[in-house]
Amino acid sequence: MRTDTAPSPIRLRDYTPPAYLVDAVHLTFRLNQTATRVVARLSMRPNPAAEPGQDLRFDGEKLGLIRATIDGQPVQVNPDDTGLTVPAALVPDAPFTWEAEVEIDPTGNTALEGLYMSKGMYCTQCEAEGFRKITYFPDRPDVMATYTVRIEGDAPVMLSNGNPTARGDGWAEWHDPWPKPSYLFALVAGNLVSHDDSFTTRSGRKVDLKIYVRPGDEGKCAYAMDALKRSMRWDEEAYGREYDLDLFMIVAVDDFNMGAMENKGLNIFNAKYVLASPDTATDQDYERIESIIAHEYFHNWTGNRITCRDWFQLCLKEGLTVYRDQQFSGDQRSHAVKRIDDVLMLRARQFREDAGPLAHPVRPVEYVEINNFYTATVYEKGAEVIGMLRRLVGPEAYRRALDLYFERHDGQACTIEDWIAVFEDATGRNLSQFSLWYAQSGTPRVRVQETWKDGVFTLTFSQTLPPTPGQPDKEPMVIPLATALLSPEGAEVVAEQVLELTQARQSFRFEGLSARPVPSINRGFSAPVILEQDMDDARRGFLLAHDTDPFNRWEAGREFARAVLVRMLKDPAHAPEETLLEGLHAVLADETLDPEFRALALRLPTAEEVFDAARRDGQTPDPAMIRQALLRLETALARRIPDLRARLDALAVPGPYSPDAASAGKRALRGRLLALLTRLEPDAATARELFASADNMTETMQALSLLVATGQGAQALARFHERWASEGLVLDKWYAVQASLTPPENAPELVAELAGRADFEWKNPNRFRSLIGAFAANMAGFHRADGAGYRLFADWLIRLDPVNPQTTARVAGAFETWRQFDAGRQALILTQLQRISDTKGLSKDTTEIVGRILE
Ligand code: 0A1
Ligand code: ZN
C-alpha cells in the first residue's frame, strides 16, 4: 500500500478513449480463502475510435500472474505495481483473445476492495477500481462487456451477475447478457440462506427476488423485500423503467466500506441497510433501508444501463440516483419531512465540505484517489442540481428529457455534456450557464433586500460565490428561488413562483399590493444556497406561525433558534426569547400538523449549526460553550410547555410496532417530548421507565440516548450490552451512543476505554465508525480543549490506515473544519494532522485527504 513519492493526479482534460475494447469476458474462479485462482478470457479488439497501434495496457494490483496468452500463444509480460503492458508489436490489429491466470488472496484483503472474505463468506467490491485486484483488465467504466462466470468451490451458495445458467456439485455458472463496465461485476459465495419473493413487471414478466443473508438473519429481510417491490413499481410509474433480468438478488455482508453497491442483478449491501426487526432496528434504520434499497435498485437504469464514461462523471449516476431515491421516499412518506431531513443532511455535510479545504465541483476535474470522491458534493449537491433543473423546466419537460436520455443513451458510457444536451434538446432551453453548477465549487450566498414604495414591493438579490481551492474567481449562476408573498394575516397574496436569478444583482417587482407583504423565499429549499435576509424576531415568529410552505415554516423556527443561541453565546446571561419559545409551543400544540413535522420543528439546531452561525456573527465559538447554551435553551423550552407529561402520554402509539411513517412520526414526537421532560427530571425517571418497558429499538434508543447524555447510562448500558452482545449491528449502536453523547468531561477517556474492549472489532468498518467516527461527531467531546480527543482520533486513523485506507480517509475528513477553531485548538489539530501525514507508508487515500486538509 505504500507510496513514497506523491502520486500524480488524474485529470479530466487528459481523457482519451480506450485503445482496446473488450466485448466478452469469461471468468473462472477456483475459490480458496488464501489462494483463489482466477482465469480470465477476454474477447478483445482495437477500438476503432482510438489511435491505432497502441500498446495494450491492463490494470492490475496485488495479482500473482501465473500465465498469459494472446490467441493461445504465451506472451512474455512484466507486471509492475499497477498493471502490465503488452507492447503494440505483440498485439494483433484484429479481434483477439487474451487469457490470463492469476492468484489472489481474499483473506489478506483487509481493504475490502476486490475479492475479500467477510465472516467466512467470499464477496467483492469493484467500484471504483476493485476489479483490477481480481484480474488484469482495462478497468475503466467506458469498457463495457458481457460476462460469463464459472465459480468452483465448496460453498453452498455461489452467485454472480445476471442469470444462473448451470450448476453442479461444487460449481455454478452465470451469464449477464447486458454489457457492463467492470466496476459492476460481483461474486458472492458462502453459507447463505435466502428470503424469496417475486415481482411481476408491468409488461407481465415475472422476476424472482432473493435476499441472501447469513443463517439466522432470514427473519429480518421482510422490510427490505417490501421496499424493493415498492421501488420496482415506482420506477415503472414515475420513470417508465422496467427491470431487465429474470432475477434480482441482494446480499447482506457484515464488512463493507460503504452503504451498498449496485452490481448488475446482484446488489451487495452493508448488512446494516438490509436487516431489520422491530427489536433491533430503529425507525430511522427502517427509513434508511427503504431509501438505500431504492437507490441501488434505481441504479439499474441510472448507472448500469447508462453508465459513466469516466470517474469524473460520477455525479451523472449518483446525483441522479440520489434525486430519484429522494423523490421515491417523499412519495412513500411525507414530502415536507423528507425535504427537511435532506436539507439538514445537505447542510451538515455538503455545505461544510463546500466551505473547507476539501471543496470540489460536483464534477471534479482532478483526483489522486477516486475513492475519495464519493462525497456529499457529488451525491447530495449532485442531486440538488437535478432538482433545480426539474424546477426550471417543469415536471413534464423533465419527464420528456428523461425519456430521451434513456432512449438516446441506453447501453452507453456518458458524460455530463450528454446529460445537459438531452435537456437542451427536449426543452429548447440553453443550459450553458446552468452547467456552471457542475463546474464551480462553493455554496452561493444570496443576499436579499426589500423595498416597499407606492404599492410596489421589490426584492433585490445579489449572489456571490466565495473562492474555493483552485477556483479564485466565479461567475454568476442560475439560481431558481421559489417565492411567495404573504399578507400580514398570513395569506398568500402572490402565489408561489420561481424567480430565476442569472445575474450578480437582480430585482423583481410586485405591483398591486394593498399592504407590505412578507416574502417567503427559497421555498422547499429550491436552490442549495445560503440566503442572507435581514430578519427580526417578529418576522421569524410570523413565518414560524404562518408560512404556507412547510419547509420555510420549519426553516423560520430553526433560524430563530440559531439566532437566539448566537445571542446566548455572546452573553451567557441572555435568556432565550419568549417569542421563540411561544412559537415552538404553538407548533407543538397545532394538532393539524403532522407529528413528525412537529418533532422536527421542536428539535434544536445542532452544535455544528450553532458554531457556523456564531462564526457568521464574527465570533470564534467554543464547543463547550455551545453545549451549555443548547442545554439552557432546551431547559427553557421544556419549562415553557406546561403539559409535557400529558402530551407525551396522549401520543402513545397503540398496537404492536409498525415502521410506517405515521407511527414513526408519533414516536419521533414522543421522543422529542421525552427529551424535553428529561431536562426537568434530575434522575431521568421517565427515560428510565421507557428503557425498562420499551418493546422496540426506537424507544429503547431514545431512552438510552437520554440516559447516556445526562451521564446516567451505566446501568442501562450494562443491560443493553448483555442483551445484545451477539448482534453486531445492535452492538454498534451501543458503541455509537456512548461515543457521540457522552459529556465532554470524560468522552475521550471513555472512548479510549471502549476501544480497548475485546468486542471492539475495529477492522469491521461499521464498528470503527460506530466508535471512532461517532466520537468525531461529539463536538464538545472531540474538540475538548486539552486535545485528548484529537490525539485519540489520530492514533486510530494511523492504526486503521494500513488495514483499510478507504475507511480511514473517509473518517479523517472530520478534521476538514480545523481552521475554523480558535488558535489553541488549531495548533493541537495541526500537530495530529502532521503526525498522520508523517506516518511511514501512509496510503494514497489518506495522504490525499490529509494533504488537502493541510493545504
Ligand atoms: N455506488 C454505490 C456506492 C459505492 C461507492 C464506492 C464504493 O467503493 C469505493 C462502494 C460503494 C452507491 O452509490 O450506492
Ligand atoms: Zn449510488
* Angle, helices 416-427/395-409, rounded to nearest 10 degrees: 130
The pLDDT of residue 368 is 98
Q: What is the pLDDT of residues 500-557, one digit of tens each?
A: 999 999 999 999 999 999 999 999 999 999 999 999 999 999 999 999 999 999 999 9
Q: What is the pLDDT of residues 678-688, one digit of tens each?
A: 999 999 999 99
Peptide bond into 128 cis (omega under 30): yes
Q: Whose CA is nearest to atom 7 of ligand 1?
A: 127
**Residue that has been written with the C-alpha cell 488464501 in this structure:** 34
Is 396 in contact with 366 (CB distance < 8 Å)?
no
Cα–Cα nearest to 386, from 402, 375, 370, 371: 402
Q: What's the CA-to-centroid distance between 314 and ligand 2, angstroms?
A: 9
Task: Quote the CA–CA distance of 207 and 134 in Å, as a whole number.
Answer: 30
Q: Is the CB of 125 under 6 A from ligand 1?
A: yes
Q: 104: which 3 cell numbers? A: 489472489
**Residue that has been written with the C-alpha cell 503494440 in this structure:** 88
Q: What is the pLDDT of residues 596-617, one digit of tens each?
A: 999 999 999 999 999 999 999 9
Nearest atom in ligand 1 to 370's CA: 9
Is 297 in contact with 264 (CB distance < 8 Å)?
no
Q: What is the pLDDT of residues 826-838, one digit of tens each?
A: 999 999 999 999 9
Q: In the chain, pLDDT over 70 holds for what percent of residues?
A: 99
pLDDT at residue 4 greater than cutoff 70 = no
Residue 719 region, left (φ>0) first, then alpha (ψ -120 to 50), else beta? alpha
247-275 average pLDDT score? 99
The pLDDT of residue 2 is 41
Q: What is the pLDDT of residues 570-579, one digit of tens each?
A: 999 999 999 9
Q: Of the residues 253, 258, 371, which should be mutated to test ligand 1's pocket, given the most ligand atoms within 8 Å of the CB?
A: 258
Instruction: For residue 643, give the 3-state DSSP assignment.
Output: coil
Please report which helix (H) or strand (E) contains residue 155, including its range.
none
Q: Is the CB of 369 under 6 A from ligand 1?
A: no
Q: Are strands 64-70 and 73-74 parallel, antiparallel or unpaired?
A: antiparallel
Q: Whose CA is nearest to atom 3 of ligand 1?
A: 261
Q: Whose CA is nearest to atom 8 of ligand 1?
A: 127
User: Average per-residue pLDDT in the chain?
Assistant: 98
Q: Whose CA is nearest to atom 2 of ligand 1?
A: 261
Please report which helix (H) or strand (E) contains residue 660, including its range.
none
The pLDDT of residue 712 is 98
Nearest atom in ligand 1 to 321's CA: 13
Residue 12 per-residue DSSP state: G
Residue 273 to residues 292, 494, 665: CA-CA distances in angstroms?
A: 7, 44, 20
Q: What's the CA-to-centroid distance between 318 and ligand 2, angstroms?
A: 5
Q: What is the pLDDT of residues 640-656, one digit of tens each?
A: 999 999 999 999 888 99
pLDDT at residue 362 greater than cutoff 50 = yes
Q: Is the CB of 374 under 6 A from ligand 1?
A: yes
217-237 average pLDDT score? 98
Nearest atom in ligand 1 to 303's CA: 1
Nearest atom in ligand 1 to 806's CA: 9
Residue 116 to residues 147, 188, 259, 280, 622: CA-CA distances in angstroms?
A: 20, 10, 17, 27, 44
197-221 average pLDDT score? 98
Q: What's the CA-to-centroid distance between 374 and ligand 2, angstroms?
A: 9
Please report which helix (H) or strand (E) contains residue 171, including its range.
strand 171-181
Q: Is the CB of 414 under 6 A from ligand 1?
A: no
Nearest atom in ligand 1 to 296's CA: 14
The pLDDT of residue 85 is 98
The pLDDT of residue 6 is 74
Task: Quote the CA–CA distance of 153 and 443 in Å, as a whole number.
Answer: 52
Is 112 in contact with 257 (CB distance < 8 Å)?
yes
Q: What is the pLDDT of residues 560-571, one digit of tens each?
A: 999 999 999 999
The pLDDT of residue 1 is 41
Q: What's the CA-to-centroid distance between 230 and ligand 2, angstroms?
A: 18
What are the residue numbers of the active site? 296
Q: Is the CB of 325 under 6 A from ligand 1?
A: no
pLDDT at residue 767 greater than cutoff 50 = yes
Q: What is the pLDDT of residues 28-37, one digit of tens each?
A: 999 999 999 9
The pLDDT of residue 801 is 98
pLDDT at residue 5 greater than cutoff 90 = no
Task: Quote the CA–CA distance of 46 and 19 in Å, as a whole number.
Answer: 6
Task: Quote the CA–CA distance of 831 and 55 in Å, as a whole number.
Answer: 46
Task: Quote the CA–CA distance of 557 and 562 in Å, as a whole number.
Answer: 9
The pLDDT of residue 71 is 98
Task: Quote the CA–CA distance of 273 and 261 in Å, as a whole number.
Answer: 11
Q: Is the CB of 128 under 6 A from ligand 1?
A: yes
